[in-house]
Amino acid sequence: MAFADGRLGWLVTGYSAARTVLSDSRFSARGEPDHPPVPRAATLEEHPHCRTLLTGQFTAPRMRQLTGWTERITREHLDAMETMGSPADLVEHFALPVTSLVIAELLGVPRADREEFQHDARLWSSFGRSTEEVTAAFVSLGAYLLRLVRLKRAEPADDLLGGLVAADPGLTDEELASIAFLLLVAGHQTTAHQLALGTFLLLEHPDQLAALRADPSLAESAVEEMLRYLSIVHHGPTRAALEDTEIEGTLVKEGEVVVVSLNAANRDPARFERAEALDVSRADTGHLAFGYGIHQCLGRQLARIELRVGLTALLERFPRLRLACPAEEIPLRHDMQVYGVDRLPVAW
């Protein structure tokens, strides 16, 4: 394949080859730092020490605590939607605010600051805002996270940022604020759009929606199937070969770049039976929506909690949930790195 600058590289679309590239130590997650095939911001893959520290913060007790918090704020936002009345935009009034508040709880944003934090997070991630509004929200979030880090140094707390401060006092305030922002980027829009797009998907597949309603115990398998079927990250992980490496009969030369298409791998018929079909009862998991290997998404368990809790509560609250406009009028994010819907008008 040819990248935008004309340089040649490789695109992996098969499941088996994708797992190999993502887990083989002969491929570097840092890619070509001086010449990335796709322009992008820094990621935790480029900071292995920070990634190691973060791994220790996603503990089972913290996930249990966040499950209760997610259930509570999910109920509160469904209450507000119901009070406001049908129809409503599921993205604006449910998916984005719930996920931003979960991130706020994870980071340890004080209750008194959450309205401002949520406001800036919503502006920064909203569709149709002016460049000035988005830039102002970005600057405000960055400044706030820096103040939050300094608060955690002065007043240690049992949250993720407090845990990072305690784990490595040598990290600078700016480094910690950058980590917090990366977590916001990675865990806010992705989960919000997965939740909204997954709901859209079910509403467009009434047989699968009916199966899930008839058997709520399918919620976990339904979430895994939504992750497999949708795989909302458009261009997947990028790797660079550290040496000449043969992958399933193809020679990738040292220095060449490989891009893994997670969505194509998750629809590989050689791996998944009826790969193009949505099946909420599918028992065959093993999708690559969160990546694979040592660079697998750190927040995958939290994302699963948010998706399961959000989807289950939404369908329970509104048993007659339906689209409030024709499906073809729903604006899809074809031109964004994270696929999803910018609006999802629903009625009940």
Token pair 């998706």 is found at 307
- On whether residue 197 sits in a domain, the answer given is yes
**What is the band of 195 on the pLDDT scale with cuts at 50, 70, 90?**
very high
- On whether residue 242 sits in a domain, the answer given is no
User: Residue ranges of the alpha helices (H) in the chain?
Assistant: 15-23, 48-55, 60-84, 90, 96-107, 114-125, 131-154, 160-167, 173-187, 189-203, 206-214, 219-230, 262-265, 300-317
- On whether residue 274 sits in a domain, the answer given is no
- On whether residue 49 sits in a domain, the answer given is yes
**What is the band of 4 on the pLDDT scale with cuts at 50, 70, 90?**
confident
- Point out which residues pair with 2 in neighbouring strands: 8
Higher-scoring residue by pLDDT: 136, 123: 136
Q: What is the CATH number of the domain that holds 73?
A: 1.10.630.10
- On whether residue 112 sits in a domain, the answer given is yes
Average pLDDT value for the chain: 89
pTM for this one?
Answer: 0.89
| pLDDT tens readout for residues 319-330 | 999 999 999 999
Dump the DSSP string for 131-190. Answer: HHHHHHHHHHHHHHHHHHHHHHHHS--SSHHHHHHHH-TTS-HHHHHHHHHHHHHHHTHH
Q: Provide, rounded to the nearest whole percent, the portion of the chain with pLDDT above 70.
A: 92
CA-to-CA dists, residue 340 to 95, 127, 200, 331, angstroms = 11, 11, 10, 9
| Most distant CA pair in the chain, distance | 61
- On whether residue 145 sits in a domain, the answer given is yes
- On whether residue 287 sits in a domain, the answer given is no
Does residue 40 surpass a pLDDT of 60?
no
- On whether residue 268 sits in a domain, the answer given is no
Sign of CA dihedral 123, 127, 133, 139: positive
- pLDDT for 335 equals 67
Of 152-166, 171-185, 273-287, 326-340, the range with the lowest mean pLDDT is: 326-340
| pLDDT tens readout for residues 287-317 | 999 999 988 888 899 999 999 999 999 999 9
Q: Provide the pairing of β-strand 322-323 with 10-12.
A: unpaired
CA 94, CA 34: separation in Å to the nearest integer? 40
Q: Does residue 237 have a cis peptide bond before it, meaning omega lies within 30 degrees of 0? A: no
Tally of domains in the chain:
1
Does residue 230 surpass a pLDDT of 60?
yes
Calculate mean pLDDT across residues 118-142: 83
**What is the band of 44 on the pLDDT scale with cuts at 50, 70, 90?**
low
Q: Which of 3-12, 49-58, 98-107 has the highest mean pLDDT?
A: 98-107
Calculate mean pLDDT across residues 259-263: 93
Q: Contact 30/46 with Cβ under 8 angstroms? A: yes
- pLDDT for 87 equals 97
Among candidates 318, 303, 308, which has minimal Cα distance to 71?
A: 308
Residue 182: domain span: 43-231+296-347
